[in-house]
A and B are shown apart, each in its own frame.
Chain A
Amino acid sequence: MAIQAALEEEQVATTPLLQVQGLTMSYGVGDSENKILSDLNLEVNDGEFVSIVGPSGVGKTTLLRCLSGLIQPRSGTVSVGGETINGPHRDLAVVFQDYSRSLMPWMTTLENVAFPLQGRGVGKKERNETAENNLAAVGLAGQGHKYPWEMSGGMQQRVAIARALAYNAKVLLMDEPFASVDAQTRFDLEDLVIDLQASLGVTIILVTHDIDEALYLADKVIVLAEKPATVVDVIETGFGDHRDQVETKADPRFAEARARILHRLRDH
């Protein structure tokens, strides 16, 4: 009995938080069928930071839409905490690429962050408190009264991140979240996300076409290629918790991993 229990515990501990099995997705039917994803498998462990990298148009966004439950795959499953999802899930939050379109301009930033909690039935005082705390966590303490359109792009994306954090999901899905900001802001936001992940222990899946960004941020990089897309490589970066925009990117392992990904993408 004791051994049985210990085995089960081990089972629980090693079950990945998010698991994708045999995921296949296509648009259209018959002759006009356009296969996007083919028999795609991946695993993300609790607390892990995973980047999904691949060239533009490979199907990253489609994959993310499957993961977030916005579309149903043709076949295969996506499961979170062992539970197969068939639509948007409580444990999945998304940070969209286009912050200027995903925040609601008729709400203040505080209202934007608190709104998903209202949907969950959290009382006004509590949800405003949570929103305020999460705004502070992304460096926007006391800015809740401002409207999104009164803020810069980088600040707006911080608000979107705060909104996802406030939702308190186990997994944060980020769809090219820094693609529409300038380089300096991008570095700031990258470091912010690394810090947040380290301090909150949230699991992050970030989709990007930028190999450097994928490597710099992640514990594990999943490389997508081919048409229809499938996983062609999985790389453990091994940089640990401490990252620095200059040091980490100068690390020989960084260059090595970078070369490996480029080769992978070129070969396919």
Chain B
Amino acid sequence: MTDTALRPESKTGTPARPRRSKVERVRSRPAQLALNILQRTWLIVVVFAVWWIATADSTNVFIPSLESILTSLFRDLSNGVIASGAAYSLGNLAAGLLIAVAVGIVGGLILGETKRLREIVDPVIHFFRSVPQAALVPLIIGAFGIGQGPKIYTIAFACMWPVLLNTIDGVLGVEPTIRKFSKVYRIPRGLHFRKVVLPAALPQIVAGVRVALPIGITVMVVSELFAANKGLGFYILNSSATFMVPETWAGALLVGVIGYILSLLFIVLERRILGWYFKSGAK
């Protein structure tokens, strides 16, 4: 593609693949970086500015000014009220996601490779994934108790479905010629799973985990709205119950920020473990 620079979309400065474009490469790196950051952040800055101005003189109890929300947020962040709760919540999220990913991948690999089993289990999977996961939270906590365990299981249960389904899809999508290769060269089953099927399905699996992440954050918060005495969800519920409205908003805002940061970290992780996938141009 020597004529990239001549293509119309390059002239606008927003080519489909900014990193490969010649036009982009001509700019100095710091300038490019600044432009990228600006491109990604301008909207969020505008939203917060509008929010700040629109709520500055708010007299509505339920819509406090952004200033008061941020004040409570930074106060509770610095005095440790939120920090310990956030650590507890994120610990649950991490544990729940880990279980979901492990069970989802192993289950998905087995189901993807065994047609008969898949046909039997398929209706059950689609039933459970359609059940609103947040609605199950009180039931699971009622059944298994109010400790940390049931909260982790709830997150794991909710996050497992996208990972499981995507893993099955990924396994079914393994290139037939590669399957033939594995058969003809008599690759043992264990090695076939680890080095052929798993890497081939990995792009799909990672996409499943990406879907699971926000589900996990939602269920994490919801699980702390019931029978909890700490965590971000508890902070939100507790402040709302005691009419500390700015704190309620602050808690919700913080969950959003955490979600955003986690998704950014996930992109870094994705680039790391799927290096071949992005570089080969498969995506």
Residues of A within 8 A of B (CB): 68-70, 88, 90, 92-94, 96, 98, 101-102, 104-107, 115-116, 118-120, 147, 149, 167
Within 179-216 of B, Cβ neighbours of A (below 8 Å) are at 180-181, 183-188, 191, 195-196, 199-200, 202
B282 within 8 A of A: yes
Asked if A88 meets B178 with Cβ closer than 8 Å, knowing A105-B276, A115-B195, A149-B280, the reply is no
Asked if A105 meets B196 with Cβ closer than 8 Å, knowing A88-B183, A96-B180, A167-B185, the reply is no
What residues of B have a CB within 8 angstroms of the CB of A118 in the complex? 191, 195
Contact with A along B162-176 (1 / 0, CB 8 A): 000000000000011
Contact yes or no, B185 A101, CB < 8 A: no
Most A CB contacts (10 A, CB to CB) among B181, B276, B280 go to: B181
Q: How many residues of B contact A (CB 8 A)?
A: 24
What residues of A have a CB within 8 angstroms of the CB of B277 in the complex? 105-106
Most B CB contacts (10 A, CB to CB) among A98, A101, A105, A118 go to: A105
B281 within 8 A of A: yes
**Minimal beta-carbon separation of B182 from chain A (angstroms):** 8
Q: Bound state CA distance, A119 and B280, in angstroms? A: 25
What residues of A have a CB within 8 angstroms of the CB of B180 in the complex? 70, 94, 96, 102
Asked if A101 meets B184 with Cβ closer than 8 Å, knowing A106-B199, A106-B200, A118-B191, the reply is no
**Minimal beta-carbon separation of B17 from chain A (angstroms):** 16
Asked if A147 meets B276 with Cβ closer than 8 Å, knowing A102-B177, A104-B178, the reply is yes
Asked if A70 meets B184 with Cβ closer than 8 Å, knowing A105-B276, A119-B191, A149-B281, the reply is yes
Asked if A92 meets B281 with Cβ closer than 8 Å, knowing A101-B177, A105-B276, A118-B191, the reply is no
Contact yes or no, B184 A119, CB < 8 A: no
What residues of A have a CB within 8 angstroms of the CB of B281 in the complex? 149
Contact yes or no, A102 B199, CB < 8 A: no
Contact yes or no, B175 A147, CB < 8 A: no
Most B CB contacts (10 A, CB to CB) among A68, A94, A104 go to: A104
